[in-house]
Structure 1
Amino acid sequence: MRSKIDANEYKDYILGLIFYKFLSDNEVNYLRSIGWSDDDLKTLVEDYEDKEAATMIEYCRNNIGYFIEYKYLFGTWLLPDSNFSVADLSGALNSFDRLIGHNYKHVYASIFKTLQAGLSKLGENPASQTRALKDLIKLIKDIPTDGSQDYDVLGYVYEYLISNFAANAGKKAGEFYTPHEVAMLMSEIVAEHHKDKQQIEIYDPTSGSGSLLITIGKSIGRHIADKNRVKYYAQELKENTYNLTRMNLVMRGIAPNNIETRCADSLDEDWPKQTSGSEMGKPLYVDAVVSNPPYSQHWDSTDGEHDARFKNYGVAPKSKADYAFLLHELHHLRPDGVLTIVLPHGVLFRGDVEKDNEGEGKIRKNLIEKNNIDAIIGLPANIFFGTGIPTLIMVLKQHRDNDDVLIIDASKGFVKEGKNNKLRACDIKRIADTVRDRASIPGFSRAVSRDEIRQNGYNLNIPRYVDSSEAAEHYDIYATMFGGIPESEIDGLHTYWDALPTLRGDLFQSETDRPYATVKANDVTRTIEQNMDVCSLKRDFADAFSDFADVLHHRLITNVSSVQELTEQDNIASDIFCRLQEIPLVDKYVAYQALSDNWQTIVNDIETIQTEGIDAIRVVEQAYKMVKKGDEEIEVPDGLKGRILPFELVQCIKFQAELDAIRAKQVCVEEIVSLLDELRDNLTEEEAEKYLDEDDNAKFNKKAITAGAKVKDDDVEPETKAKLKEIVRFWNEQSKLNKEIKADKAALEELTIDAIENLSDEDVEMFLHKKWIDPVCEGINGTLSAVFTTLEKTVVALEAKYAVSYNEINRNIADAQNELSGLIDQLTGDEFAIKGLQEFNKLKD
């Protein structure tokens, strides 16, 4: 597509085709589920004179909402004898629009409008357009669309496309896509609030790709077994993005009667409305509202003071619609509902409450006085694509039993990925748990009373209430002058001494006449390891997790066919937290991250096993890699791999001797390379000129060396000939070893393939344990080791901080000056030079 269309339009073609593939696959899978064969599929034609064909059209329209002829199925276009052209896709999209079932119009009508309208941009003529489409179809043929994935497929592809191409097109991608981690955090808050409900309605008035709604719905699904008890309302201004919302919801397997969408301006045209009964036309109230509206957008606030959404709170400024979106959403919230919205930090402090009768200050005051704001969560900067501004999540409710506001500064918890910052699983869980428990944690969160907010003039700026800044480095003046470590700074490590009472005495020696100490341990690491309280803590930790591996094995491997991802992860996390309850110093969220780091691998494997059966573990298949070919990257075969079990894992367990033998030969090759480098460096200048490559003197001239080593006359000096023969001998040995290594690797691969394909049931369980359970347990065990490593580094740094005092430096300077003076006094020489040195010597005084 490059050079044919703008980069920001790539997504419209790719996502549209992926969705068309989904619809085709969905129809085929549905018909196969009722007994249709591949030959039967060929009878799918739009022929109303054929009674059976006409009946089938109506059957599909009534049951899946649409009908696609065999010739228009995505899979048909991939057949070897297919003569696919751009006309086929155009015809397919027109046909799809005509054949939508009556009850499904609201979901599918004009859903391919953007794709259809843009086909002509793909080339100057039908032939070039067809070539572009064929390449796209081949590219996306393996993208999964069956809804079994734990992730949002369209959202995932969409995120990739906008992160790689939207910036090039000068678009603000952050307006359209909410990063998965932020969506997960919002979904955790909503799911916790509604965990006891068995039916729920959720609404996003700026739905974008629909990723927020989908993530919320998925999290709620942990508590509601029937996903058709969740109803989705979505409104989006931009038509192509609105179509994407509908595609995304449909691809997640949501029933059409649970999807209500609208393409319109949420602020200009209030929606959703009741569609039936005596309340018809009145505002619809939902259980949860979630949104990431465009930040500080201009809007038409005319007559806003008369609008039911705004009149009790105030009207947002025309230049900043942030509070307009918030009040619109709050208006549609049920009394027991919850609202989570992403906003810029400006909403916390913009507008003067005392001076402005309208605007953001008044709105903020009214939200506080009406007790709507439940929590404010400050997020890390650079967390959204396309914008580096810091953002926050505000949590609001119509009715609350408490009247404080929980303020969380979560801006410091993230991992950097490229140019963006990303919330980790442990960060998300820490925040969600803090919201749930309304916990006040120094430097992280605080429940702030309404009186305190009033005293601050309704300014909600996070640093006013939570100080997450790191303490400035403190230097003790006395210790700087005279040495010693201040006891006050050692006291600062009280969390360690509270948990390990004897360790402080093992590490530090207090001075009797002043509040200072020295490090008495010669080996800090060894002293920590051997301390009785440390050893006791290690035993307690080991006891707490003594059966954890077995519990995980039973949950994930023994019961692999019935594992449910979200509920199982919650159960395991609760188990980890419970085991750590009596273990000091270990951060339970760091331990949780060890589970999360490995969870996706586990879930992917479980998904494959649940889909294909346990024998999927015994499958060896073709591996692929991407290689550059001209200006394009293409996929090419790259050996074989286990569908679930990596060759490396199997080899380490079953064929370690073979691996060791190969490694030994590789070491020999490395030694030969080193010896050849040494021989090259020892060549004389004359030899180098003759036997090294003219263009690169780091390389041997193989032809010249081989010839020189063979000549029988005296043209080559004996010493030189010996060197050449040695080089040739090393080359021959290196070649022989490389051939053996290649053969050994091929033989090992055959052994590995045979081992995987013939695994016993006991082996299957053992290897799954090695791949899934061991990394989690190792990660959790590493959390305690990390605690002691951090303490060791802190103690060493504390000792180094005051290792050399100012007095000691002065003494060293004085000693050096005296020594220099003595040396100068011993010098003899020219009269005037001596006088000059004597004057220089006086300078030290």
Structure 2
Amino acid sequence: MNKQQLASTIWESANQMRSKIEANEYKDFILGFIFYKYLSEKEVAFFRKERLTDADIEKVTEDDVKYASHVRENLGYFIAYENLFSTWLKKGNDFDISNVRDALSAFDRNIDDVYRKVFEKIFNTLQTGLSKLGETAQAQTKAVKSLLKLIRKIPMDGKQDYDVLGFIYEYLISMFAANAGKKAGEFYTPHEVSVLMSEIIAEHLKNRKQIKIYDPTSGSGSLLINIGNSAAKFIDGENKIDYYAQELKENTYNLTRMNLVMRGISPANINVRNGDTLEDDWPFFEDTDKDKTYKFIPVDAVVSNPPYSQKWDPSDKEFDPRYKYYGVAPKSKADYAFLLHDLYHLKDDGIMTIVLPHGVLFRGGEEGKIREKLIEKNRIDAIIGLPPNIFFGTGIPTIIMVLKRIRPTSDVLIIDASKGFEKVGKNNKLRACDIKKIADTVKSRESIEKYSTLVSKETIRENGYNLNIPRYVNSLEPAESWDIHATMFGGIPVKEVDQLFEYWEAFPELKDAIFRKISNEYLAVKCDDIKAAITSHESLKIYKQAFSNEFGNFYEELKNDLIEEILDVSAEHEKEKVSKDIFIRIENVKLADKYKAYQILSDNWDVISTDLEMIQSEGFEVINQVDPNMILKKKEANDDEVPEVQDGWKGHILPFDLVQREILTEDLEELQAIEKRLTEITSLYGEIIDSLDEEERESSVLNEANDAFVAKEVKSFVAEALSDVENDEIKALRGYLSLSKKKEKLDYVNKCDIVSWNLMEQGSDGAYKKGSVISRISELQRMYEFPKDSFEQKVMTVLSLMEEESQAKKDLKQKSEALHIKTKETIENLDEDESLRLLELKWIKPLVDSLFAIPDEIIGELINKVIHLHDKYCTTFSDIEHDIENTSAKLSNMIDKLVGSVADIEGLEELKKILGV
């Protein structure tokens, strides 16, 4: 499994195991044990590096003070053999919850002093919460055993540099957040928002050799880690980033530390604190002696997603160096307190991004004064309005504010990115194209209609320092207008057709091919089929050819980079290269949206990068690897763990359906023919049911809903209908069945020439078997033709279809199983050229096909717009009035034919007056 599949499997298993424990608490157990497994495996890898044998490792204990100290100095911690994760698994039924308690207690006393801040009490949440897994030690043991078996699947062989583990860790945090509501949302920033902030910060820091980054409300630490990963792309060498993180809640603080350590960050580069960011200015000081150890540390980047509009204590903060030059945030809303804390720790050439509620842009009072000073001091660089409902647990509108201490311009870039998202479950989610567009706009500081604008300090002053985004960027689409004259008399307004000017520029002479002039201000559609007229026009063919020309060698270049250099190409760098290439090519194509093209690239690249990761870490031969397809069965009450069973096979890299389409074509077509016939049979059942009259529908051959046949009743009806059917051969066969002696039967056969004896099975004595004769009688009866369209003939047809369907399903099952095995063997025996050809079809063809579909999508949009204009005005008010008159006249005529009492007639006459006839 790739890391996405593995993470999904673990989440599904965990979800099945979870019962009374809340998601927000359950995460502490599963993530805590994942971290312990990581530390255990990292130590075992250290033992192996020092050439310790299995026997040597088993002797590693705390009593060996010298070696334990050696391990602590290198790793920062020491775990004795008896407390290793792998040892717990080896204990099997002898494992007990006490093993975990003893191991976690031992961990705290075996931390190196230099790394105490990183590891001390890191398992507190897990250790104190074990009792929640069951009321008895036995119940707790059972629950922990299930957890250990669940997470033992996570690979720790070092090939992926623990990226798999980090990915799974963040995936689980995000899933717990999505399922736990507001509480989980407090410690998790959605990955897409992290990526956006990372792109903005990394671009600013990309020429630095060493950097410091800080998150004062670190939560799970994922936001800080993503910033570090993005910045690291531009830094040569390792351990060039110092991480500073502070978190108020202890269990969430533990998540920060675990996450940082598991991402392979050296403990020497990790600086963390469990404390109140607003109460104490940190970094940096030692908790043991705050006053003497305080040291102001400016950083290159600050990133934060603090709790929104939180209450705080602003007492005695007016002289705090963080706030004294800007003001103190009100006690009811700490948003600006967090922002000013972040800004205080920023280097003059640094950058910060902070997620805040939309209200910070326009609220008055103390917040208004702080905002004014930030603007006058030229600190606010950009404001990005995010879509609503993008964070777990809250639907309020949020923004990202970008600030710098020194800026070359006083303009503020304001972006309304609230319309760019996709709906995923209950939440909105930024797409790759949305992130790319925002990051590009921040980089270029470009004004884009209905999306972004550069606002001068003078304009902001004129607006009373109100930064509410709609004041500066109108992203609303104009309401559709209706032309009164066209509504009354018909015709399409020229001005509405001209609104499609971009299309008419891209497709010369197309407008004249669709519309004819009926006055200076109105047009009419002059073609009967708008879609055909547009798609067949020469300008569209030229347009599509121009697009093809721009992307002419695109396929081959991708093939050269991805297939020819498969073991060496960097997926990350290649994506950036391809992205730039697509943007250059598409720039020359009118109407084409480069960000739509980028989304196509991103969607397809997920598959490519995942495969490349496996091929490059596991070896080229994995392309020919086939794995058991393991699925989870429903967990029974008495199961210790979620049962997992094999359901066939699947390609490690190559999908079975791709191999079948490309190589096993004949076998696949044979299966598809059977499937097609089964579909036809289903349709035939429906046609027969529709042909039945009311009396026939009362028959027992149909179910109660009258929408399907009952097989048992159909067979019974046919048997009864045919019971009286006879011909000479049937009579002769019945005569044969009445004989009991062998000689009589043989004589009968020799004399009776009207029977096709060769169609029946003989016994060892030469006589024909009774069952075979009875089957022949039934077969002869089935040959009887009932009158066409009779009920009997229809039910006979149904029975034949049922028999054919039954056999087809058997054939389908057998052939599917055979093709499945044949596909497995085919993948395993592919030669290198064929393997690469299939990879090319999996990776490159879908991407290129999707890009080449862009012109057709643009043309489709135009067709819909023109049809809408036609439909909008094709029915005039006079047409409607005429229809009303005709309908009223017809109704009046019908009324005249009615008879009734005097009172009824008076009422009808009044109705005619209302109708105006």
TM-score w.r.t. length of structure 2: 0.85
The letter of the residue matching 1:100 is I
The structure-2 alpha-carbon separation of the partners of 1:544 and 1:128, relative to structure 1 and needing over 3 Å to count, comes to: same
Partner of 2:520: 514
Offset at residue 175 of structure 1 (A): 2.0
Kept in 2, the 8 Å contact 1:152–1:214? The answer is no
Does 2:649 correspond to 1:577? Answer: no
> Which residue among 172, 193, 214 is the counterpart of 1:157?
172
Match of 2:371 among 364, 368, 377: 364
Cα distance in structure 1, aligned partners of 2:708 and 2:22: 47
Distance 1:679 1:483, change over 3 A: closer
Within the alignment, does 1:433 sit opposite 2:449 as a pair? no
- 1:540 counterpart = 2:553: no
Per-residue CA deviations over 1:605-650 (Å, capped at 9, x if unaligned) read: 1111111101011001111223324469643322110001110011
Distance 2:488 2:694 in 1: 60
Specify whether residues 120 and 533 from structure 1 end up closer, same or farther in structure 2 by C-alpha distance, changes over 3 A only: same
Instruction: Give a deviation string over 1:771-798, Cα, whole Å, max 9, x none.
Output: 1111111221122221111111001101
Cα distance in 2 for residues equivalent to 1:841 and 1:90: 92
Paired AA for residue 40 in structure 2: S
In 2: Cα distance, 1:529 partner to 1:839 partner: 51
Q: Find out whether 1:289 has 2:302 as its counterpart.
A: yes
Please tell me the residue identity of whatever aligns with 1:96.
Answer: F
State the shift of 1:825 in Å. Answer: 12
- The 8 Å contact of residues 274 and 284 in structure 1, kept in 2 or not, is answered as no
Q: Show CA shifts across 1:8-51 (max 9, x none).
A: 21111111011111111222233334444544433333332xxx
- Once residues 406 and 319 of structure 1 are traced to their aligned partners in structure 2, the CA distance between those partners, rounded to angstroms, is 29
> Structure 1 pair 478/55, CA: closer, same or farther in 2 (3 Å)?
same
1:639 match: secondary structure: strand
Pick aligned residue for 1:564 from 565, 570, 590: 570
Partner residue in 2 for 1:355: none
The alpha-carbon deviation at position 677 of structure 1 amounts to 5.2
Q: CA, structure 1 residues 672+808, in 2 after alignment: closer, same or farther (shift >3 Å)?
A: closer
Instruction: Find 1:644's aligned residue among 649, 653, 657.
Output: 653
1:48-106: CA deviation from partner (whole Å, max 9, x where unpaired): 2xxxxx44423322222222222322223333756211111111111222222232222
Q: SS of the counterpart of 2:650? A: strand
Q: Is the 8 A contact 2:305 2:356 kept in 1?
A: yes
Whole-angstrom CA distance in 2 between matches of 1:587 and 1:835: 64
The one-letter code of the counterpart of 2:129 is G
**Deviation readout 1:711-743 (Å, 9 max, x if unpaired):** 785599996877666554433332222222222
TM-aligned CA deviation for residue 502 of structure 1 = 2.0
Residues 834-843 or 706-715, more deviating: 834-843
* Matched residue, 2:343: 330
**1:348 and 1:538 mapped to 2: Cα distance?**
46
State how far apart, in whole Å, the 2-side matches of 1:305 and 1:274 are: 21
| In structure 1, C-alpha distance between the alignment counterparts of 2:165 and 2:353, rounded to whole Å | 23
Q: Does 1:759 align with 2:830?
A: yes
**SS of residue matched to 1:458:** coil
- Alignment of 1:408 with 2:415, yes or no, is yes
Question: What one-letter code is carried by the residue in structure 1 that aligns with 2:560?
Answer: H
Q: In structure 2, what is the equivalent of residue 30 of structure 1?
A: 46
Amino acid at match of 1:549: Y
- 2:742 corresponds to: none
Among 207, 213, 221, the alignment partner of 2:224 is 213
1:342 aligned residue (355, 372, 392): 355
1:482-521 alignment, distance < 5 Å: 482-511=489-518, 513-521=519-527
In structure 2, how many angstroms separate the alpha carbons of the residues matched to 1:415 and 1:766? Answer: 34
Partner amino acid, structure 2, of 1:795? V
Counterpart position of 1:446:
453
The 3 A distance-change label for structure 1 pair 327 and 738 is same
Q: Would you say the 8 A contact 1:4–1:122 is kept in 2?
A: no
Residue 735 of structure 2 is aligned to residue 663 of structure 1: no
Contact 2:197 2:227 in 1 (8 A): yes
Tell me if the contact between 1:453 and 1:459 (Cα under 8 Å) persists in the aligned partners: yes
Q: CA deviation at 1:137?
A: 1.1
AA aligned to 1:567 is H
CA distance in 2, matches of 1:596, 1:345: 30
Q: Which of 26, 44, 62 is 2:60 aligned to? A: 44
TM-fit CA distance, 1:575:
0.9
Say which SS state the counterpart of residue 30 (structure 1) adopts: helix
The alpha-carbon deviation at position 566 of structure 1 amounts to 2.7
For residue 180 of structure 1, the aligned residue among 174, 191, 210 is 191
Match of 1:386 in 2: 393
Cα pair distance change 1:103/1:558, threshold 3 Å:
farther
Q: Is residue 166–residue 259 contact of structure 2 (8 Å, CA) maintained in 1?
A: no
Q: Are the structure 2 counterparts of residues 518 and 206 from structure 1 closer, same or farther at C-alpha, using a change threshold of 3 Å? A: same
- Tell me, yes or no, if the aligned pair for 1:502 and 1:532 is still in contact at 8 Å: no
- Residue 8 of structure 2 aligns with which residue? none
Q: Does the C-alpha gap of structure 1 residues 698 and 788 become closer, same or farther in structure 2, counting only changes over 3 Å? A: closer
Could you tell me whether the CA contact under 8 Å between 1:828 and 1:834 is conserved in 2?
Answer: no
2:101 pairs, out of 90, 95, 104, with 90
Instruction: Name the CA distance, whole Å, in 2 between partners of 1:693 and 1:491.
Output: 60
Pick aligned residue for 1:794 from 858, 865, 872 = 865
Contact 2:389 2:395 in 1 (8 A): yes
Structure 1 pair 679/526, CA: closer, same or farther in 2 (3 Å)? closer
Q: Which amino acid aligns with 2:119?
A: Y
Which residue of structure 2 aligns with residue 263 of structure 1? 274
Amino acid at match of 2:172: V
CA RMSD of aligned residues (A): 3.1
What is the one-letter code of the residue matched to 1:161? F
Report the Cα distance in structure 2 between the residues aligned to 1:116 and 1:64, rounded to whole angstroms.
22
- 1:246 is matched with 257
If you compute each CA radius of gyration, which structure gives the higher value, 1 or 2?
Answer: 2
- Distance verdict in 2 for CA 1:60–1:705, change over 3 Å: same
| 1:198 equivalent in structure 2 | 209
1:237 aligns with 2:248: yes
- The offset of 1:480, in angstroms, is 1.6
Q: Does 1:106 align with 2:117?
A: yes
Is the 2:60–2:80 contact (alpha carbons within 8 Å) kept by the matching residues of 1?
yes
Matched letter for residue 500 of structure 1 = F
Distance 1:505 1:604 in 2: 50
Look up the match of 1:422: 429
Of 606, 609, 618, 2:615 maps to 609
How far apart, in 2, do the equivalents of 1:828 and 1:435 lie? 76
Question: For each residue in 1:82-133, what CA deviation from the matched residue of structure 2 results, as whole angstroms up to 9, or x when unmatched?
Answer: 6211111111111222222232222111110110111122112211110000
Q: Distance in 2 between matches of 1:623 and 1:264?
A: 47
1:458 match:
465
Q: Distance in 1 between matches of 2:688 and 2:895?
A: 54
Conserved? CA contact 1:207–1:242, under 8 Å = yes
Distance 1:686 1:271, change over 3 A: same
**Matches of 1:332 and 1:721 in 2, distance apart?**
90
Q: By how many angstroms is 1:658 displaced?
A: 1.1
Q: 1:820 to 1:120 in 2, by over 3 A?
A: closer
Deviations 1:464-505 (A, max 9, x none): 000011101111122122211111111211222233332222
Q: 1:188 to 1:550 in 2, by over 3 A?
A: same
How many Å apart are 1:826 and its aligned residue?
A: 10
Instruction: Report if aligned partners of 2:437, 2:595 keep a CA contact under 8 Å in 1.
Output: yes
Q: Following the alignment from structure 1 to structure 2, what is the Cα–Cα distance between the partners of residues 310 and 83?
A: 59
User: 2:90 aligned with 1:19, yes or no?
Assistant: no
Change (3 A) 1:550 1:32: farther
The answer to whether the Cα contact below 8 Å between 2:131 and 2:140 also exists between their aligned partners in 1 is: yes
Unaligned 5+ residue runs, structure 1?
A: 49-53, 353-358
| CA distance in 2 between partners of 1:90 and 1:836 (Å) | 91
User: Is the 8 Å Cα contact of residues 692 and 698 (structure 1) preserved in structure 2?
Assistant: no
Q: Do the aligned partners of 1:219 and 1:566 also contact (CA within 8 Å) in 2? A: no
Report the CA distance between 1:297 and its aligned residue.
Answer: 0.6
